[in-house]
Structure 1
Amino acid sequence: MSGNPAVGGADLSFSLSQQLTVIAVCALTALIAHLALAVFNDGVRPFLLDFIQGRSTRGATTAVSFGLSAGFIFGLGAPMALSTGVLNPWLLFLPTDVLGLLAPKRWLAPLLGAAWGAVVVFGLDGATTVAGRLPVDFLAALREMATPILFLFTLFPALAITRQFGRARGALAAVVQLALVLATMKLWPEVFPGAIAMAVGVLALIGFAAARDMGRRRADRAERAAVGVRAAAGVRAAQEVREIPVGPGVAGNQGDETVRGAGTAGGSPADASPGADGSGAEGSATANLGKANLRDENLGKANPGKANLGDGNPAKANPGRPGSRTAAGKPSARRQGDPAAEELGRRAPGPAVVAAGGGDPMASLFATSATRLRARLPLLMLLGAGVCLLAQTRAFGGGEATSFLIAQGEYGEAAQVDLYRAFGFLPLIATTALASGAYGIAGLTFVYPVGYLLPNPWLAALCGALVLAAEVLALARIGRLLGGLPSVRDCSEQLRGAITDTLGLAILFGSLMAASTMGGGLGILIVGGLYLLNEAMGRVVVRMAAAPAAVVVGGVLLNLLYWLNLFTPVKG
């Protein structure tokens, strides 16, 4: 691939096998959306929990889905498909989300989905033909977005590193990526210039995150060891306190006997054992010292398993619950004893607490959601087979940059880009699936790169089914893993944010280039003005889709101005 990834004319005339695949997959995705088993829109998925549990109606859920999807369908999905000749998930799966949820009957959902698939495969080609005959071909102008999207997308690892690990590492990553882009363009001109740079950047980000998590784990282990040392020191101190003699006239077990006598008489001096000189005052003092010795023994005892309470019966302490009481009714050492032992108790909950998930209701919800998805595993495997087969037809791309790469036949680079994207969106899809009980239409989206790389449709269907089955079966474990690796989870979130930012800027810049191609300064005025008005109005159309939608509207307006003899098209 050359350094200038311009896209040729978009061809939306699909083969019969491609048409049938698109229609069948749209029917299947609409059925699955009707069952609230999976949807493509990540923003809709959390709302499905109320629908699944009967707290929301089908109509209300459909309204939410349409409101969150319409801008992406008409502002991003349709213009992207018309400009590249490659279908995308915003154009196929967002409408089937809406249609599947809208259908009141199960049998109607796949029919509506199939109808939408037919509209896409048969209608877009006609739209492209009509647009090509206009004085201002705004669909051809949209192809100007290819270069900024592909090249700016390369920098998303450097942005993610800067946000998570600071300016110094981010600047270093950006310099390294730029050097790798230049080297690739010079030494391997047939390779996509950003391929190696993206790979190195993503590996550096994951390496930084893993190193931080490992450092935190080592620090936690050292802190727990220090807590254990402090607890042991407190135990030894308690043992030494127990070994102090009760009084000058008491030897051996005489102090215990004195305490026992005092406890029996309710602490009366008359019942206390006399000292060596027979004075009652000294015996009373001895009894009081014995009581103090007993309190110290109870509060700071070395062995939480047994404590001599003066009556000769051992009492078992409960180290698992802070604030538990001994057999004698005294507070245990965990509550009022050594602070180190108390801290250790807070850090190490009892086995019953761990087994119950710490009493967290979210743990129960996650388990219920994972069980619900596993119960529908055969249907989800069929979904994985269909989506992977669709990607294998070379008529579908999973993202903005991927669509342009697929259009140019760069399937390996497209797989690389969507693999990085999958890692970026993995925490979002996994957590929303566990919280709602509804999965993603493409799962964790690993079926996309698998489909791009496989040469055989039957093999693609088989691998897609296996990939989605593995994802569903491992979903609960993935959730626990993300909880134990906070930096890795954060790096995925930073990746997603960086991808969104780079593509947002690239699409805006490419849309302005398309506007200039259509109408020069007037085109930039119309398209840029529509974009800014959308921002001022509170983003009636989502930001990502606003610029391509403005190009389409601007192209229509320029054609109207031409027919009114108010505008002369720019000669390309």
Structure 2
Amino acid sequence: MDIIQLVVVGALGALAAMMANKGIAVFNDGLRPVMPEYLEGVIGKKELAATSFAVSFGLVIGFGIPVSLGASVILVHSILLMTDIIGTWTPEGKKGTIIAGIIGALWGIGITIGLQVVVDLFALMPVNFLDALGAVGTPIVVGFAVFPALAIAYQHGFKKGALTLGLSTLALVLVKKFGTITLESGTTFTLSAEGMALLVGMILMVFFAVRVKGEGTDNQNLVSIFVERVTRIKKNALLLSLTGGLVAAATSLVIIAGDPISLNLMSEGKFGEAALAAFARGIGFIPLVFSTAIVTGVYSPSGTTFVFVIGILLQGHPVFAFIAGAIVMFIEIMLLNGAAKGLDRFPGVREMGEHIRTSMNRVLEIALLIGGALASEQIAPGIGYFWLIGVYLLNQTAKKPLVNMAVGPVAAIALGIIVNILYVLGLWAPIVVG
């Protein structure tokens, strides 16, 4: 592991944990609305810490880490959800902030090194199933291109969603057949069929959204009512910009990714497609992050997630990524008021954000479930599908079920461990996995 990578991820962990401790920024969207209650004395430190642990820890263990194990890139949830917990659990005051920074840095470095250690341990197992885990991400790349059609169907109805799916499918087929272009110099390059299908869907998604008429007042009212909280965020703009720069730098070094889709694309070296996927995700997060920021006075350490796009586009250039990421984060914060008013003028675009997030989550749930099934079947041919279906359905009956997105990766990892135990006991025939 390069020392620069460890310094960057350690600094990110430290700064994110310190900001969570001071109530400046938290990564978990579900925790952000709780922060003002703590800052205003409505709830105490114990209640905040308990809430933070409840909403974040399961996602770290059940989603962030398992998804990261299937690739060479860490899902940022593994770091920033944990720094939320660290920041809220450490004491108040300067001493607590310093402690949060130290633990946050150790966690960032530890998870980066630790995941590699886990990968190395898998390689020592009699049945190495790590290669098979790569199949978890296989359906994500092509499946992601479906989300605009689903978002349109949620917002504008089945017919427009079906039309979008049809045109996206047509684009996918045509680019797969005719997408290889040969230049006069003899150089050839191939367009991404999935990327073009996604682009067609996104263009239609925006087209339908801007056609929605109506005048809203919600966000304008929010700006006037919560002007103090917006001012609070702007006072911390420099600190938040540093965090945005670190996120972009870490992404540029291919240490972290903002979502499973761009993570899998980055691990395959498809940085152009990964940037497009991250950009689409950023569009969906503008209304959520901006609205919660205006209401709570608490921002996200990764902003509206466009810093990930910067990092991907400047892959291999961490210094430039840091500078550009910091600038993008600063601009985001300065545009809080104006963006809220802009969203108010286009109610369809404002509503589109919610549908984008919902459709992305649904696509990821299905894609990761199918990927988990493919990986499980590679690990244990003839048993994998049975295992995955059983785990998924039983999880629905649990008192504290895993989030649906985590079931596929967790089931595949669990099956790999079971197969190794059976092999050691002489109950499993030696097979070549992957």
What TM-score do the two structures reach when normalised by structure 1?
0.70
Partner of 1:202: 202
User: Is contact 1:39–1:440 with CA below 8 Å preserved after alignment?
Assistant: yes
Partner of 1:438: 298
Q: Distance in 2 between matches of 1:456 and 1:134?
A: 36
Partner of 1:167: 158
1:198-237 correspondence to structure 2 within 5 Å: 198-213=198-213, 216=214
Partner of 1:37: 24
Unaligned runs of 5+ residues in structure 2 are 181-189
Partner of 1:180: 171
Q: Distance in 2 between matches of 1:476 and 1:447?
A: 20
Which of residues 96, 101, 111 is equivalent to 1:110? 101
- Greater displacement, 518-527 / 393-402: 518-527
Helix, strand or coil: the match of 1:483?
Answer: helix
Partner of 1:286: none
Residues 516 and 377 of structure 1, relative CA distance in 2, 3 Å threshold: same
User: Is contact 2:64–2:76 with CA below 8 Å preserved after alignment?
Assistant: yes
Deviation at 1:394, TM superposition (A): 2.0
Partner of 1:54: 41
Partner of 2:243: 383
Partner of 1:392: 252
Partner of 1:328: none
User: Is contact 1:146–1:510 with CA below 8 Å preserved after alignment?
Assistant: yes
Q: Distance in 1 between matches of 2:66 and 2:289?
A: 26
User: Is contact 1:518–1:555 with CA below 8 Å preserved after alignment?
Assistant: yes
For 2:236, the aligned partner's letter is R
Partner of 2:281: 421
User: Is contact 1:518–1:569 with CA below 8 Å preserved after alignment?
Assistant: no
Residues 539 and 174 of structure 1, relative CA distance in 2, 3 Å threshold: farther
Helix, strand or coil: the match of 1:135?
Answer: coil
TM-align CA RMSD:
2.0
Q: Distance in 2 between matches of 1:108 and 1:514?
A: 40
Helix, strand or coil: the match of 1:194?
Answer: helix
Q: Distance in 2 between matches of 1:15 and 1:563?
A: 35
User: Is contact 1:74–1:549 with CA below 8 Å preserved after alignment?
Assistant: no
Helix, strand or coil: the match of 1:212?
Answer: coil
Q: Distance in 2 between matches of 1:115 and 1:482?
A: 39
State the aligned residue count.
418
For 1:101, the aligned partner's letter is T
Deviation at 1:191, TM superposition (A): 3.3
Partner of 1:279: none
Q: What's the CA shift string for 1:183-215, capped at 9, x where partnerless?
A: 2222235333211111111111111111222xx
Which of residues 460, 463, 487 is equivalent to 2:321? 460
Deviation at 1:363, TM superposition (A): 4.9
Q: What's the CA shift string for 1:326-352, capped at 9, x where partnerless?
A: xxxxxxxxxxxxxxxxxxxxxxxxxxx
The answer to whether residue 192 in structure 2 is matched with residue 192 in structure 1 is: yes
Q: Distance in 2 between matches of 1:558 and 1:529?
A: 16
Helix, strand or coil: the match of 1:106?
Answer: helix
Q: Distance in 2 between matches of 1:535 and 1:570?
A: 32
Partner of 1:370: 230
Unaligned runs of 5+ residues in structure 1 are 1-13, 221-353
Q: Which structure has the larger Rg?
A: 1
Which of residues 374, 379, 394 is equivalent to 1:513? 374
Q: What's the CA shift string for 1:51-99, capped at 9, x where partnerless?
A: 1111122222122122112222122211222211101211111111111
1:499-510 correspondence to structure 2 within 5 Å: 499-510=360-371
Which of residues 82, 87, 99 is equivalent to 1:95? 82
Helix, strand or coil: the match of 2:383?
Answer: helix
Partner of 1:137: 128
Which of residues 102, 120, 131 is equivalent to 2:111? 120
Deviation at 1:523, TM superposition (A): 3.0
Helix, strand or coil: the match of 1:440?
Answer: coil
User: Is contact 1:517–1:570 with CA below 8 Å preserved after alignment?
Assistant: no
Residues 30 and 41 of structure 1, relative CA distance in 2, 3 Å threshold: same
Partner of 1:567: 428
Deviation at 1:458, TM superposition (A): 2.3
Helix, strand or coil: the match of 1:43?
Answer: coil
Q: Distance in 2 between matches of 1:39 and 1:112?
A: 16
**Larger fraction in helix:** 2
Deviation at 1:364, TM superposition (A): 4.9
Q: What's the CA shift string for 1:214-272, capped at 9, x where partnerless?
A: xx46xx9xxxxxxxxxxxxxxxxxxxxxxxxxxxxxxxxxxxxxxxxxxxxxxxxxxxx
Q: What's the CA shift string for 1:25-71, capped at 9, x where partnerless?
A: 11111111111111111111111110111112222212212211222
Partner of 2:186: none
% of aligned pairs identical?
32
Q: What's the CA shift string for 1:405-460, capped at 9, x where partnerless?
A: 11122111111100000111211111111111110110011111111112532221
User: Is contact 1:61–1:101 with CA below 8 Å preserved after alignment?
Assistant: yes
Q: Distance in 1 between matches of 2:48 and 2:193?
A: 43
Q: Distance in 2 between matches of 1:530 and 1:211?
A: 44
Helix, strand or coil: the match of 1:568?
Answer: coil
Q: Distance in 2 between matches of 1:37 and 1:158?
A: 36
Partner of 2:398: 537
Q: What's the CA shift string for 1:74-132, capped at 9, x where partnerless?
A: 22211222211101211111111111111111110110011101211221111111112
Deviation at 1:569, TM superposition (A): 4.8
User: Is contact 2:17–2:104 with CA below 8 Å preserved after alignment?
Assistant: yes
Deviation at 1:525, TM superposition (A): 2.8
Partner of 2:184: none
- Greater displacement, 150-159 / 446-455: 446-455
Q: Distance in 2 between matches of 1:494 and 1:364?
A: 26
User: Is contact 1:520–1:570 with CA below 8 Å preserved after alignment?
Assistant: no
Partner of 2:68: 81
The answer to whether residue 417 in structure 2 is matched with residue 556 in structure 1 is: yes
Partner of 1:16: 3
Q: Distance in 1 between matches of 2:198 and 2:64?
A: 25
Partner of 1:241: none
